[in-house]
Amino acid sequence: MWLYPGIIFSLGMLIPGKLSLKLQYDRDQVLHIMPETFQQVQHLQHLCSTLLLDLWKPPLPEDIWAGEDLHIRVPAPLVQEVKDSLDQHKISYKVLIPDVQELVDQSTPRERSIHREVPEGYVYTQYHPMEEIYQWMSEIQKNNSELVTQHYLGKTTENRTIYYLQISQPSDDTKKIIWMDCGIHAREWISPAFCQWFVKEILQNYKSDPKISRFLQNLDLYVLPVLNIDGYIYSWEKERLWRKNRSPYMNGTCYGTDLNRNFNSSWGSIGVSYNCSSEIFCGSGPESEPETRAVAQFIERKKSDILCYLTIHSYGQYILTPYGSTTKPPSNNEELMLVAEKAAAALMGKYGTSYRVGPTSLVLYNNSGSSRDWAHMIGIPFSYTFELRDKGTHGFLLPPNQIQPTCEETMLAVTTIIDYVDEKYLSGGAGMLTSSRLGLSLCLSVVLTWTIS
């Protein structure tokens, strides 16, 4: 690398004290297309595959369907060629993002204070690099030692330490657990921002909010603010739209595994790629990545105590239930849907933001190896993926001025789910829809119908 410094400097942006090849997205555009015919779908699949376009939604060309939204990022040199091709095939489109770099610049603060006062002076309405999140975690524990402990989870590919926070009121009993992780995909910056917001809200309000106070008496909250630490750092320092982790493959000629295709849940069966250059490369095997293994081994040890697994992503505005690899519903599907619908209604009540609810395979696209599916398959009864704002106007580049409203509304949804779980298992559960009650009611219905007939 050092043999050709002239080339390096011409390709990247030099930051003082650091050689940085920061990828620029000047005049790249994101197009919104909705194909209407099978022929249009075929052309779009061919276009995306041959030009290696960055598919934002859905992630694979074969998941492009007539009547379904397609979001693609087109590099500036190809914009006109792609638009001409769409016009020739009478495929209508609109420009969602006219200049990707402008949105990238908006989401990255120009000046950062390294010695920021934390957490009192911590700004929850802007995005933070990993160094500041590490510092925030340490300070949160130090300033709330009666409630918060920071724990080692594992190491990343690049040997960084993964920590989670445990929020727990002192108790002589072993308590049940709610797990929440953020930042499994590096470019989804709103996700770690929400995990931090969630912790802040719990700590600020657990004494005054009766709902939070009640469920904290019965439940421990385990929060992993950033799972894909290497990828997250890379998205700050090198390539804002990086998604995967940073594990090297093919002798270092390509990098990264999609950690949300790497769990041992129908691994590699559908909605993945075996090409290490792909955004949805599933790895060399289930749990091939140290980040995935760290989570999986920990959850396996604790699974009898974990009642709910929440994993936070963006974008699209969905609350997704299992499964992604099959349309066969889980055994407690009705209850999963009921709780998700309640959460979506609570979220909408804040700012009117609409979320779609349902199994991934039916409302979004097929995938395998996801953490949500894996958690449910090993026996955790409630398992959900949140896809936060928006629906594509900004996509993965949600501006900082949307952090607060996004987090406020998502907080209502998440606490609705936690409250339901607490009520069902730990606070009496008088009004809960349980699978046993549902089965009993169905049996009674059958008996009554038979008797009457």
The one catalytic residue in 132, 188, 201, 387 is: 387
Phi-psi region of 305 (alpha: psi -120 to 50; beta: other; left: phi over 0): alpha
Closest to 193 (Cα-Cα) out of 414, 408, 418, 416: 408
User: Omega into 315 within 30° of 0, i.e. cis?
Assistant: yes
381 Cβ contact partners less than 8 Å away, ≥ 6 residues apart = 307, 308, 332
Specify the pairing of strand 318-321 against strand 356-359.
Answer: parallel
Q: Is 335 a residue of the active site? A: no
Unique residue bearing structure tokens 């049996």: 443
Cα 108 to Cα 9, 105, 315: the distances in Å are: 21, 5, 18
CA distance 354 to 345: 8
User: Omega into 75 within 30° of 0, i.e. cis?
Assistant: no
Burial (Cβ within 10 Å: 0-12, 13-18, ≥19) of residue 145: exposed
β-pair partners for 30: 73, 97
Q: Locate 244 and state its tokens.
A: 């995967």
Strand segments, DSSP code E, in 204-305 are 219-224, 248-249, 254-255
Q: Locate 224 and state its tokens.
A: 């992993």
CA distance 195 to 260: 18
447 Cβ contact partners less than 8 Å away, ≥ 6 residues apart = none
Q: What percent of the residues of the chain are helix, what percent strand, and what percent coil, each to the nearest 5?
A: 40, 15, 40
Q: Locate 390 and state its tokens.
A: 């928006």
Q: Is the dihedral of CA 413, 424, 206, 303 positive or negative?
A: negative
Unique residue bearing structure tokens 């650091």: 18
Q: Locate 364 and state its tokens.
A: 């979004």
Question: Residue 380: which H helix or E strand, with range?
Answer: none
> Alpha helices, DSSP H only, in 395-434?
403-425
Active site residue ranges: 387
